[in-house]
Amino acid sequence: MRELATQVREAARALPAADRRAALRRLAQALLDNADAIAEANARDVSENPELSPSLAARLLLSPAKLETLAAGIRSIADAPDPIGRQLRATELGEGLELRQVTSPIGVVLVIFESRPDVLPQITALAVKSGNGLLLKGGSESSHSCRLLHRLALDAMGVGPVVGLVESRADVASLLELDDVIDLVIPRGSNSLVRHIQSNTRIPVLGHADGVCHVYVDEAADPTKALDIVLDAKTDYPAACNAMETLLVHHSVDPAPLREALEASGVTVHTEVEDWHTEYSGLECALRVVASMNEAIDHIHQHGSGHTEAIVTEDDDAAQRFLAGVDSACVFHNASTRFADGFRFGLGAEVGISTSRIHARGPVGVEGLLTTRWKLVGQGHTAGSFARGERTWTHRDLG
Amino acid sequence: MRELATQVREAARALPAADRRAALRRLAQALLDNADAIAEANARDVSENPELSPSLAARLLLSPAKLETLAAGIRSIADAPDPIGRQLRATELGEGLELRQVTSPIGVVLVIFESRPDVLPQITALAVKSGNGLLLKGGSESSHSCRLLHRLALDAMGVGPVVGLVESRADVASLLELDDVIDLVIPRGSNSLVRHIQSNTRIPVLGHADGVCHVYVDEAADPTKALDIVLDAKTDYPAACNAMETLLVHHSVDPAPLREALEASGVTVHTEVEDWHTEYSGLECALRVVASMNEAIDHIHQHGSGHTEAIVTEDDDAAQRFLAGVDSACVFHNASTRFADGFRFGLGAEVGISTSRIHARGPVGVEGLLTTRWKLVGQGHTAGSFARGERTWTHRDLG
């Protein structure tokens, strides 16, 4: 496993931007050219896993329409501007000594996903575009599809093994120990998968184990907006991580209309709750009446997961205090929690949603796969010449 | 310890920008007003630790001049613009629905330092300015100084315990387990301290265990620049993490003049080396002749620590390839490795130098204590209204 991870790192380092673009265009084409073989491998996965629920089986399926969308997505990633080497800061340190902070690949990223085999070419495109080496572990139920997609990806890369695929849990366990070779782990799947990985590696994990999101209906809320937002936040897609799990209502607001509307939409509303840190992931939510906005904020800090919280109010001062005071990745005013999403945020592809405060937070696009480096260009400059007063620091912003 | 960390987090959340500024100005003044008491506590530390080497004793000493500098530094941090809430990105998602990504505090930072008690007020100023809660562990040899400085810091804050001080190793061990309350650990001290912390916590660590920095003298190097840079990189401050440990010389360049100049400056030059990953931290270095720049890059990737590497060359193409190809936090062309430093980079105060690829890399200023949040402001917007086609995504950059 160490050898595989090291190979992947070195192959990624050796691949220049023009080659990365060409490789991704070849990958997009290969998905279309090999549609029949992919359909066959996928059909084997489906037939060998008759026990899957309808929703999991649907995720496993690689229909021709999915392949078309996938190929189009990969072409658009291929043709996007090179994300590497983008200048973030430039400073003249002294005469003739110029410092630039530029974006660069992280190194090696391990992505662990379940069910959906289309994650493989998609995340391959994002990782290759951003100059990273990639290690992948798919779900066992999609092994035939993943093996074929991995082979197509390797063929398209042309040069060495930028993308490695592992299949067993033992291999994943070995990879999770390689914190000196692997820089980031991205688990894409159930809460229990994320939690398992977070507690079994020293490698930083980009993701979120829980999405316990709140909507707080303030005393100055517009009742129609409150109703619209609460219903959307819970029922638009109840299993999503950005769905509302707890509704907090100011004591001066009658909660009955909200509760009745939720119930009319099939939502079970819990008011006697043992554990307020519960992600119902279905047509259920908790309801609590609070004495003040501060009590709502305290509740969120104590029981939330730091994902996404919304306030409904016509009082702009209250909204400002809520947005400044709530310490979550996403804080919304008069908008549904369901907007917390990479595509909706306009980030292009979504690498994941992070509730960590380190590296990247909230919905994360391709910038989550980047770090920065400092490039300094001089003309024989020494630190001693500044200490001796032969040169002087200018620290001039070069924009 | 959990209670202390939680208190610190909550106290930091409750402190608005104007109060933070006033608190830091009070802290700066308190250092001057209490100069006598500080000198007394410091003298007790010095007299109780007669075994310290002269250089460690010098670090421990809080002279009146050091206090003046410290107070001036804290005043300048107090008066700097508020780093929190700075807008990094603004996008209109749809009509009347505006998203802003803004800087925000990380939460709770644990700083573990050795010897120098002046780190306490300095890092307190940086943490409070950036809205973070802070937990501190100083060296046992500076306990009297640290206790007094901590009390002055708490008095200056006025509101709750934004800064906590722990004294025992057992307390630190407990804190290192609180990865759900503490967001970042910054060890400031010896390599062994950093390594110990990195291998004993799941909390992200900002720092570097090693600084094995390289200078590569290319075939197209200017001999005078090479000599200046090599001597500066090794002898300007040999114990620094950004000092050169290994000199790589292209085979077409005669290494003798470089070697002789180093030896004339008292440097022992090793050519028969067992472990190329060695941080000599003194007047010693390794020397290796390489067949090509690629061999130099491979050597750096195999044996380096990802800290800082420099190329000396008049060939701009070669320099470009080196700067693009070497995967370290800092890559320099015709400049000494000694420039890798927060002050020299113009970052203001330095929080640390990170060789991690996650969060912050290279010399890190106050931005290393910040993360971001997403603020979305709508007018009752629901995700469903976009799905139903009643609204359309605009994703317009608001600059």
pLDDT digit string, tens, across residues A236-279: 999 899 999 999 999 999 999 999 999 999 999 999 999 999 99
CB distance from B325 to chain A under 8 Å?
yes
- B-facing residues of A in 238-267 (CB < 8 A) are none
> Mean of the per-residue pLDDT values for chain A?
93
Q: How confident is the model at residue B247 (pLDDT cuts 50, 70, 90)?
A: very high
Distance from CA of A148 to the nearest CA of B (A): 32
Interface membership of B333 toward A (CB under 8 Å): yes
The three-state secondary structure class of A23 is: helix
Chain B residues whose CB is inside 8 A of the A10 CB are 301
Tell me the ipTM for this assembly. Answer: 0.91
H/E stretch holding B286: strand B284-290
Give A108 to chain B, closest Cα distance, Å: 10
Interface touch B345/A374, C-beta < 8 Å: yes
Nearest residue on chain B to A180, judged by CA atoms? B356
Residues of chain B positioned with their CB less than 8 A from the CB of A361: 371-374
> Hunting for tokens 């990958």 — which residue is that?
A27
**What local confidence, expressed as pLDDT, does residue B44 receive?**
96
Residues in chain A: 399
Check residue A160 and give its pLDDT. Answer: 72
For A384, the closest of B184, B232, B381 (CB atoms) is B232
Which residues numbered 63-92 in A keep a CB inside 8 Å of some CB on B? Answer: 85, 91
Show residues of chain A in contact with B106, CB under 8 Å: 357-358
Interchain CB contact of A332 with B (< 8 Å): yes
C-alpha distance from A57 to closest chain B C-alpha (Å):
24
- Reported as a pLDDT band with limits 50, 70 and 90, residue A22 is very high
Percent of chain A with pLDDT over 70: 100
Q: Do A332 and B107 touch (CB under 8 A)?
A: no
CB contact under 8 A, B345 and A229: no
**A15-19, A22-26, A145-149, B118-122: segment of lowest average pLDDT:** A15-19
List, as one string, the DSSP characters of A308-362.
EEEEE-S-HHHHHHHHHH--SSEEEEEE-GGG-STTTTT-SS--EEE--SSS--E
* DSSP single-letter state for residue A274: S
Q: Which residues contact B143 (CB under 8 A, 6 or more apart)?
A: B45, B167
Structure tokens belonging to residue B342: 């927060």
Query: If you average pLDDT over residues A130-147, what whole number do you get?
Result: 94
The 10s digit of each residue's pLDDT in B173-230 is: 999 999 889 999 999 888 888 989 988 888 889 988 889 999 999 999 999 999 999 9
Q: Mean pLDDT, to the nearest integer, of B364-384? A: 95
- pLDDT of B16: 81
Beta-ladder partners of B97: B94
Mutation test of the interface with chain B: which of A217, A316, A382, A391, choosing the one with the most B Cβ atoms within 10 A? A382
Q: Which of B266, B265, B254, B258 is nearest to B227 (CA)?
A: B258
**How far is Cα B296 from Cα A174, in angstroms, rounded to an integer?**
31
pTM for the complete prediction?
0.91
Q: In sequence order, what are the residues at sequence separation of 6 or more whose Cβ sits closer than 8 angstroms to the Cβ of residue B352?
A: B186, B188, B206, B207, B208, B364, B368
Distance CA B360, CA A238 (A): 36
User: Does the pLDDT value for residue B70 go beyond 70?
Assistant: yes
Phi, psi (deg, nearest 5) at residue B374? -110, 125
* CA distances to A89, A295, A297, A298, B106 from A302, in Å: 38, 10, 9, 6, 17
Dihedral sign for Cα B185, B188, B189, B195, please: positive
- A378 in contact with B, Cβ within 8 Å: yes
Q: Which spans in B236-304 are helix H?
A: 256-264, 293-303
Residue with tokens 């490795």: B337
Residues of B in contact with A332 (CB under 8 A): 375-378
Nearest residue, CB atoms, A335 vs list B330, B381, B395: B381
How much is the CA Rg of chain B, to the nearest whole Å? Answer: 24
Nearest C-alpha neighbor of B114 from the set B178, B194, B38: B194
Q: B27: closest CA among B67, B83, B80, B82?
A: B67
Residue B350 has pLDDT above 90, yes or no: no
Q: What's the CA gap between B231 and A94, in Å, rounded?
A: 20
Per residue in B296-311, is it b (16+ CB within 10 Å) or e — as a string? bbebbbebbbbbbbbb
Residues of A in contact with B382 (CB under 8 A): 228-229, 231-232, 236, 336, 338
| Residues 107-136, chain A, touching B (beta carbon < 8 A) | 107
Chain A residue numbers with beta carbons less than 8 Å from the beta carbon of B177 are none
The pLDDT of A52-79, averaged and rounded, is: 89
What is the distance between the alpha carbons of residues A163 and A23, in angstroms, rounded to a whole number?
Answer: 12
- What is the tens place of the pLDDT at every residue in B262-311? 999 999 999 999 999 999 989 999 999 999 999 999 999 999 999 999 99
Domains and CATH numbers, chain B: 2-206+351-372 (3.40.605.10), 213-339 (3.40.309.10)
A357 and B395 within 8 Å at the Cβ level: the answer is no
pLDDT category of residue A159 using cuts at 50, 70 and 90: low
- From A260's Cα to the closest Cα of chain B, the distance in A is 19
Q: What percent of chain A has pLDDT over 90?
A: 77
Mean pLDDT, residues A135-159 taken together: 92
Sheet of A163-166: strand order equals A163-166, A133-137, A108-113, A184-188
Asked if A382 lies within 8 A of B184 by C-beta distance, the reply is no
